[in-house]
Each structure stands twice: as C-alpha cells, then as structure tokens.
C-alpha cells in the first residue's frame, strides 16, 4: 500500500477523485509496495487500479489513458532501506552529535541507486528485491564495490555475511542490467594488488560495468581514526597510476576511459587533473569525479549568455577541498562574465577542518565567512549544501542565512544556473 500525499489539478488522479490520504492498494491485482511498483505497473495505457479512500471505501478503477500522460499523484516517501554494514570509514560514524535524527540513518537502498544514483552495496538484498531488480530492469545501478575479493570486501564493510559481489553482479548482468561502480580507497586494505584485481574483475564484465571511480576515503574529526586512515600522497599517486594505465586499452576497446579518479584523489596526489575528454560523459560527476572539468565545460558553453555582470563583485562559497581547484573554474568564469569573483573558502566548524566538502558546510559557518566580505554584491552558495527542505546540515534555513547577509545570495550548482538573472538595480 502507498499513500497519496498530493494530487495535481487537472490530472487523471484528480478526475478519479484521488486525494491526499487515499491508499493505492493494487494495480492489476498486484499489491503496491512503493514508488517502483507504482511507476512500473502503471506504465501501460490500460490497467485496473484498486484504491481505498480516506473514508475507508474501496474502489476499483479501470483506467485507460493516453501514453505517458502522468497520473498526477505524489506519493508518500518510501521507507528507506537500512544498511547492513558497519564500514570503519562510514560517514554516519563521522557525524558530530546533536544533528537532525534523519542524518544518522545509514541507508543502502537499491531503489535510490536506480532513481537518484546513490551508491548501494547490495548487501541487504532479499530474494524479492533481486526479483524486482530483474523484473523492472533497474539499470543502471550505482554499486559500491570497494573490492571484488570477498574477504577484503567483508572486512571493509565489516559485514561477515555480505554476499560475494561478483556472482551478484553476474546474475544481474545476465539479465541486461548495467552498473556504475566505485571503489572507496582505504590505504593498506583495498589499494595496490587488491585494486588491480578489483579493476580487472570489473573490466571482465564487459559492457555491463559502465564505469568505475576510485575515491579516497574521507574522514572527519569524529571518524574511527584508530581503525582507518586517509590515503597519503604516494598512495593516491599509485591509485591514479593504476587507473590511468588502463586508459589506452579501455579507449581502444570501448571508446571510453572507463576508470576515473575522483578530483579529490588527484588533489591529494598533487597531480594535475586530466583534461575534460578523459571523463567521457561525466557519468560520475555527482560523485566528485570530473567536477572541475565539468564546471569549466558548462561555463564555456554558456559564455555568450552572461550579460549584465561586468564589474560586479561576486563571492563564491565553497569548502576548502574545492578551494584549491576553484581558481581553475573562476578564471574562465571571470573572463566570460567580466565580473570579479572572490573565492570564499569556508572551513567546516561543525565537523572540523578535515571535512572539506562544500555539501556539508553549516549555514552558520557560511554566515560567519560572508560577514567578513562587505564589499560583495552577490554570493553564490553550493546548492548541494541544502537538503530538499532548504536546510543546511546544522538546520539553519536559507531564509535565515539570507536575513543575516547584507547582499543577495543565490544557490548554484554550476554558476551558469545562478547568473541567468541580473542583480536587482
């Protein structure tokens, strides 16, 4: 059963009399479990929908609709699948105390992997989940592999019952499912020969494994430092070397570089980022892989559309990780717009300075950093620092922050999205 939380006006759902609180029970006699069932089972042009109205009345509708006309109902959020692992480097363990409860939930959900590209380990799949992945052909899935050696993987996940990943992926691949994969690099555990074997095994899947990223472990002040550590410069260099050594064969055989180091891996290795072409379709940009080159491309492609910015002073808020790379982005942005960009690298006051990502910046740290920049006319904030409810990780809202800052603030994912409207005169 899935509950309706909203119905669009002039939609099929509205015509049927569905309303918030209506329970969607079954489609063509099949019980509905979550949004996946709803989307896949109602994809046909004709189906029978069984509902229970808020007053308890049950009704069956025989629905015929033009292809792809949406039903117009919003569903209650799915209950998130909990993680069965206890990785030493788990981000949840690295959270400071006192945050919103929801932030301490370890999710590991194949449905969100399919829908949003969240990485999942597939260690908590039940037989029913496996059948759904195959039946609905949930592809591509984003999979945290870390190591294909089952002993190493179980150690990394701290899960002695984790199923072996190779047979799991094989079964799905045999049904046409593809994967984007990642290796979170834990030095001394899954680098070196283990990384080599992992990449060999994943490459051996052929086109079923679309990409593999190598991302260095990131820890906070609160992480289990007695159990794991971040990779040193030489270890990051070795991992970059392992990845890049595979490029000639990958490009020749598949027309793509296939294995990609995260920007952070290059940064920690003290190596220059590869050119944009080395990231192919930027498939894992949301995972911090090729983010700088992607931004540069976005700016270059929009360069003709920046009017009204000449001479303006614009602050660009980011975490300390991107601060080192950001000049490579702000320089072409300044040329394209004529504006003066000022980098505002904000240290994370909640997690400690070792947490350098922009997505985890607390609103209060941004407020404090902007307070020292009175000459700015606009500040661009990293869009990923806010959740869907418009809250920073410390529960400060965007409105609260805006009220404290004497100039306009705008959220931005790629700068281009925030510079399409001029400043108010």
Which residues of this protein are in contact with ligand SF4, per CB under 6 A? 83, 85-87, 90, 92, 106, 108, 121
- Nearer to ligand SF4 by C-beta: 90 or 278? 90
DSSP assignment of 327-385 equals HHHHHHHHHHH-PEEEEEEEP-TTT-TT---GGG--HHHHHHHHHT-TT-SEEEEEGGG
Nearest distance from C-beta of residue 197 to ligand SF4, angstroms:
21
- Nearer to ligand SF4 by C-beta: 216 or 274? 216
- Nearer to ligand SF4 by C-beta: 10 or 226? 226
Tally of CB atoms within 10 A around 102: 9
Nearest distance from C-beta of residue 126 to ligand SF4, angstroms:
17
- Nearer to ligand SF4 by C-beta: 132 or 154? 154
- Nearer to ligand SF4 by C-beta: 42 or 85? 85
Give the integer Cα–Cα distance in Å for 61 and 66: 16
Nearest distance from C-beta of residue 352 to ligand SF4, angstroms:
19
18-31 b/e (C-beta count within 10 Å ≥ 16 → b): beeebbbbbbeeee
Indicate the burial class of 11 (C-beta count within 10 angstroms; 0-12, 13-18, 19 or more).
middle
Nearest distance from C-beta of residue 90 to ligand SF4, angstroms:
3
Give the integer Cα–Cα distance in Å for 184 and 218: 9
- How many helices (H) does the chain have, and how many strands (E)? 15, 14
First to last CA, the chain: 52
- Nearer to ligand SF4 by C-beta: 219 or 380? 219
Nearest distance from C-beta of residue 85 to ligand SF4, angstroms:
4
Task: Extract the tokens encoding 200.
Answer: 């060999």
Nearest distance from C-beta of residue 108 to ligand SF4, angstroms:
5
Report the run of H or E that residue 238 belongs to, with start and end.
helix 233-244
- Nearer to ligand SF4 by C-beta: 105 or 233? 105
- Nearer to ligand SF4 by C-beta: 82 or 335? 82
Tally of CB atoms within 10 A around 77: 11
CB-based contact 361:347 (threshold 8 Å)? no
Give the integer Cα–Cα distance in Å for 2 and 55: 16
CB-based contact 285:291 (threshold 8 Å)? yes
Nearest distance from C-beta of residue 115 to ligand SF4, angstroms:
17
Q: Which of 132, 119, 131, 102 is nearest to 35 (CA)?
A: 132
- Nearer to ligand SF4 by C-beta: 90 or 251? 90
Q: Which of 415, 409, 317, 411 is nearest to 357 (CA)?
A: 317
Give the integer Cα–Cα distance in Å for 339 and 380: 13
Nearest distance from C-beta of residue 162 to ligand SF4, angstroms:
10
């Amino acid at each position: 059963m899935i509950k309706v939380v909203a119905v669009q006006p002039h939609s099929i759902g509205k015509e049927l009399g569905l309303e918030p609180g209506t329970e969607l029970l079954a489609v063509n006699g099949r019980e509905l479990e979550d949004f996946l069932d709803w989307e896949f089972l109602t994809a046909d042009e004709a189906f029978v929908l069984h509902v229970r109205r808020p007053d308890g009345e049950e009704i069956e509708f025989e629905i015929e609709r033009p292809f792809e006309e949406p039903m117009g109902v919003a569903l209650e959020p799915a209950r998130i699948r909990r993680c069965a692992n206890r990785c030493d480097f788990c981000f949840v363990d690295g959270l400071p105390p006192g945050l919103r409860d929801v932030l301490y939930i370890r999710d590991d959900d194949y449905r969100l992997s399919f829908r949003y590209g969240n990485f999942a380990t597939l260690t908590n799949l039940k037989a029913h989940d496996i059948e759904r992945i195959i039946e609905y052909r949930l592809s591509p899935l984003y999979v945290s592999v870390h190591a294909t050696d089952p002993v190493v993987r179980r150690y990394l996940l701290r899960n002695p019952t984790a199923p072996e990943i190779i047979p799991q992926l094989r079964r799905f691949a045999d049904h046409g499912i593809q994967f984007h994969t990642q290796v979170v690099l834990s030095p001394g555990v899954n680098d070196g020969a283990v990384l080599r074997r992992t990449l060999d095994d994943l490459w051996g899947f052929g086109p079923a494994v679309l990409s593999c990223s190598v991302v260095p472990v990131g820890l906070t002040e609160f992480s289990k430092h007695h159990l794991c550590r971040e990779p040193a410069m030489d270890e990051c260099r070795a991992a970059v070397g392992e990845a890049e050594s595979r490029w000639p064969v990958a490009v020749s055989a598949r027309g793509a570089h296939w294995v990609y180091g995260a920007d952070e891996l290059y940064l920690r290795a003290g190596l220059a980022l590869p050119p944009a072409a080395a990231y192919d379709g930027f498939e894992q940009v949301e995972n911090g892989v090729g983010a700088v080159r992607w931004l540069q491309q976005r700016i270059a492609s929009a360069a003709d559309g920046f009017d009204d910015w000449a001479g303006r002073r614009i602050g660009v808020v980011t975490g300390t990780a991107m601060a080192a790379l950001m000049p490579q982005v702000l320089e072409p942005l300044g040329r394209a717009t004529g504006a003066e960009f000022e980098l505002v690298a904000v240290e994370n006051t909640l997690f400690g300075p070792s947490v350098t990502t922009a997505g985890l910046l607390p609103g209060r740290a941004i407020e404090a950093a902007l307070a020292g920049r009175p000459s700015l006319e606009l500040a661009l904030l990293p869009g990923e620092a806010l959740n869907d409810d418009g809250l920073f990780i410390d529960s400060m809202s965007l409105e609260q922050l805006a009220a404290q800052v004497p100039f306009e603030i705008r959220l931005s994912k790629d700068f281009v999205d925030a510079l399409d409207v001029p400043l108010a005169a």
